[in-house]
Amino acid sequence: MPDRTSAAAPASSGVPFDIRRVMAALPHRFPMLLVDRVEELVVDEKIVATKAVTINEPFFAGHFPGRPIMPGVLIVEALAQAAGVLAVESLGLSGSGKLVYFMAIDGAKFRTPVEPGVLLSLEVEFVQKRTSVCKFAGRALVGGKLAAEANFTAMIADPPTD
């Protein structure tokens, strides 16, 4: 485990995370799991993840028939899930049962439609990191072109009890 207290360069994940490691960090499952792979993770700083957008996504059946476009709210959700992986890995929460909950979304802007058949790159960085509340800035890109951006806040907490 990397020493996170040293003044050295931030720890990197080394190799990309495959879907199994993403699923170990997030509680989401099909059809709501929107992160397929982590390309880069720098602990306490940033994450670059990928969502393969395919025509098989259930939302494309109705959004929109004849012109399938990924709903903007799901693009923001994909960014939030990438942020969740970043938070879990940076705060050492893997296996703790803690969940990362949305608290606020600010400045969401959608620049270009996201259509089936693309790789959606999810770039998220910490704006502020605390043990119970974190702020993030995220950008979603297709082929290097900005598709969406948003700032958001999340709370780290225990899951609800029955």
DSSP code at position 17: B
Task: Assess contact for 118 and 98: CB atoms under 8 A.
Answer: no
Single out the catalytic residue among 37, 63, 98, 129.
63
Beta strands 145-157; 46-53: pairing state: unpaired
28 catalytic per annotation: no
Neighbours of 4 (CB within 10 A): 13
d(CA 110, CA 6): 39
Residues assigned a catalytic role: 63
